[in-house]
A and B are shown apart, each in its own frame.
Chain A
Amino acid sequence: METIPESKEQTATPPVERLAYSVQEAADMLGVHYFSIYRLIQRGKLKTCRALRGKLLVPRTELIKLLQTDLS
C-alpha cells in the first residue's frame, strides 16, 4: 500500500517566537527611531538584558508591557 507523503505544511517546523530583539529591531517593531529606544532604556521605561557581551536585547515581554502601559 502506498503511503501518502506528508504535505509541506505538516513537515514544516513552526516559526519560533523570538524572546528578545535588538534595539534596531525593537525600534522597527514600534515604528520609532532607534534613538527613542535608547531613551526609553535610559529612562527605565524599557528593561533590557546584556547577555551577548554588552549587546542590548529588549525582551518581547518588555515591548508588550510598554505598549500596554501606554494604552492604559
Chain B
Amino acid sequence: MNYYEKPTALQEQAYTEAKQHFAEHLKQFKANCDAIHNIESNLPATANDAFRAALQSSGHIIQIDDGTQWQHAVDLTKITAVCHRRTSGGLEFAVVESLPLKSGEMKDVLNSGHDPSEVLQTFARDQRQILSLWKNDVTAQIREHLEEKHPHQDMSIVVESFEIKLARDISRRETLAQNHSRGIRV
C-alpha cells in the first residue's frame, strides 16, 4: 500500500470522529510527553537544585505511606517531586509521587538513590516506558473503536495516523509523516 495514499472521505470522517472520541486521552498523552521532555532537558539543573536543597536541608516534610519522611526539593510535574533525606549512608534522593485518590492522597517513592542525577534519569526512563505502553494501548483502543464503528472498512490508514502522532509526541522528532501520514494530517 502506498504510504502517501490519499484517504477516502470516510477515512477522513472516521479520523475526525476518533480524534474527538479520544480527545482527552490524546491531550493527556501529549501533556505527559511534554512533561518528560521538560524533565529531560532540565535534568542537570534540577539535579543541582535538589543537591543544594539537600545540603541546606530545606523543604517541607513529606510523609510517605510506608512511614518514611522526606523533604521536598524540586517539583517535577503536578504530582511528582524530587525529595531528599539524610540517612546513615549519606544524602538520599527520591522521586515521590502524590496521587489524589478518592480515599485521600497516596504518597509513594517511585525510585531513589544517592545521586540525584541518576535518580532523575531512572525516573525519566521509567516514564518513557510508561508512555510507550500507553501509546500502544491507545492505538489498539483506537483500532478497536474504528473496527466497531466501521466494520468491513479498511481503517488502517487512520490507525497509522494516530500511531504516528503519538510516536511524534514521544520523540518530538519532525518526520516526513508529519504533514502527510498517508494523506491524513496528524
Contact = CB atoms under 8 A, between A and B. Distances in A.
Interface in A31-72: 31-33, 35-36, 38-39, 41-43, 50, 52-56
B133 A31 contact: no
Contacts of B133: 38, 41-42, 56
B104 to A, nearest CB: 11
Interface residues of A, number: 18
B99 A33 contact: yes
Contacts of B134: 35, 38
Interface residues of B, number: 19
Given A54-B139, A55-B137, A35 B144 contact: no
Contact of A31 (B101, B110, B141): B101
A22 B102 CA distance: 20
A42 B127 CA distance: 9
Interface in B1-57: 28, 32
B107 interface: no
Contacts of B110: 39
Nearest to A56: B137
Interface of A: 22-23, 31-33, 35-36, 38-39, 41-43, 50, 52-56
Q: Please name the 7 residue pairs, one residue from A and one from B, whose CB atoms are nearest each other, closest first.
A: A54-B140, A55-B140, A31-B102, A56-B137, A38-B130, A42-B130, A42-B129
6 contacts: A33-B99, A35-B28, A38-B130, A50-B140, A52-B144, A56-B137
Interface of B: 28, 32, 99, 101-103, 110, 126, 129-130, 133-134, 136-137, 139-141, 143-144
Given A23-B137, A42-B133, A50-B140, 19 more contacts: A22-B141, A31-B101, A31-B103, A32-B101, A35-B134, A36-B99, A38-B133, A38-B137, A39-B130, A42-B126, A42-B129, A42-B130, A43-B126, A52-B144, A53-B143, A54-B139, A55-B137, A55-B140, A56-B137
